[in-house]
């Protein structure tokens, strides 16, 4: 996973991530009582939502901080530490659900991800997920890339934002049949007053590793200046999200 989480800041200013994820739950077709896995469960909000829908659910995440938050807020649910590429269930799942996780995994590891999901899913079992899609937050990334270049620095893109056409073959190569797919724009308003700066520091910190705080602040302020006309709308920063949402069944 190409991200390190500040769980308290996530809970305070980025609750929109699991909140938007609740809409993804509407794609699920398996019935109550099914064994479900919330892959990349984060703070456990959607794990709890799956439980309330009648599923026998386990949450898996790689972040100790996020798991600590999940266990604190939902003490009656089961949470395990695990990697999306290597987790293993004692009994295969009827449903694997994931929200805003897959785009943090390197593009060259997506085949491994889907192979492991297929391995842990029953025949006829369902995969439902949402991830960042092609063009997600491109205004921010391209502007930062520009500012980095002007300062003689390399802006590393550490995320994977595919189109439907790029991602569907990866899924299908691992014994899954897609029956729903949509790529759509979802401009996302930030709750923090310094919305763009907070967003960058939470979700796009990797390119800044090794830079001192003065340089980081300088780059972010320059990006804010260039993006204000496009993304500062009605007094709030709005990030130009694009989402890829899909459902597939294991053959």
SS3 content of the chain, % helix, strand, coil (to 5): 40, 25, 30
What digits encode the pLDDT tens for the residues 162-214? 999 999 999 999 999 999 999 999 999 998 778 899 999 988 999 999 999 99
Residue 10: band (very low, low, confident or very high) from pLDDT cuts 50, 70, 90 = very low
pLDDT of residue 4: 53
The DSSP line for 109-172 is GHHHHHHHHHHTEEEEEEEEEEEE-TTTTHHHHHHHHHHHHHTT-----------HHHHHHHHH
Beta-bridged to residue 177, according to DSSP, are 249
For the stretch 8-47, what's the b/e string if a residue is b when 16 or more beta carbons lie within 10 angstroms of its beta carbon?
eebbebbeebbebbeebeebbebeeebbbbbbbbbbbbbb
Burial of 149 (0-12, 13-18, 19+ CB in 10 A): exposed
The CATH code of domain 7-135+159-189+241-250 reads: 3.40.50.150
pTM of the predicted model as reported, rounded to 2 decimal places: 0.91
Domain parsing of the chain, residue ranges: 7-135+159-189+241-250
What average pLDDT score do residues 23-48 get? 95
**pLDDT of 49-80, one tens digit each?**
999 999 999 999 999 999 999 999 999 999 99
> Percent of the chain beyond pLDDT 90?
86
């Amino acid at each position: 996973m190409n991200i390190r989480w500040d769980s308290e800041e996530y809970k305070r200013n980025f609750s929109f991530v699991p909140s938007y994820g609740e809409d993804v739950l509407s794609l699920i077709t398996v019935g109550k009582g099914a064994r479900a896995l919330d892959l990349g469960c984060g703070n456990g909000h959607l794990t709890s939502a799956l439980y309330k829908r009648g599923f026998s659910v386990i949450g898996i995440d790689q972040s100790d901080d996020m798991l600590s938050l999940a266990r604190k807020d939902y003490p009656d649910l089961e949470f395990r530490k695990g990697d999306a590429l290597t987790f293993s269930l004692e009994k295969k799942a009827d449903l694997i659900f994931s929200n805003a996780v897959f785009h943090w995994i390197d593009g060259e590891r997506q085949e491994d991800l889907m192979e492991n999901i297929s391995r842990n899913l029953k025949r006829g079992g369902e995969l439902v997920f949402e991830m960042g899609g092609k063009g997600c937050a491109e205004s921010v990334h391209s502007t930062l890339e520009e500012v980095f270049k002007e300062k003689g620095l390399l802006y590393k893109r550490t995320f994977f934002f595919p189109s439907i056409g790029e991602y569907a073959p990866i899924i299908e190569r691992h014994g899954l049949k897609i029956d729903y797919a949509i790529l759509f724009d979802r401009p996302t308003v930030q709750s923090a007053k310094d919305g763009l700066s907070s967003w960058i520091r939470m979700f796009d910190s990797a390119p800044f590793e090794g830079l001192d705080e003065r340089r980081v602040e300088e780059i972010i302020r320059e990006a804010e200046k260039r993006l204000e006309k496009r993304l500062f709308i009605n007094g709030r920063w709005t990030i130009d999200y694009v989402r890829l949402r899909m459902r597939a069944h294991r053959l």
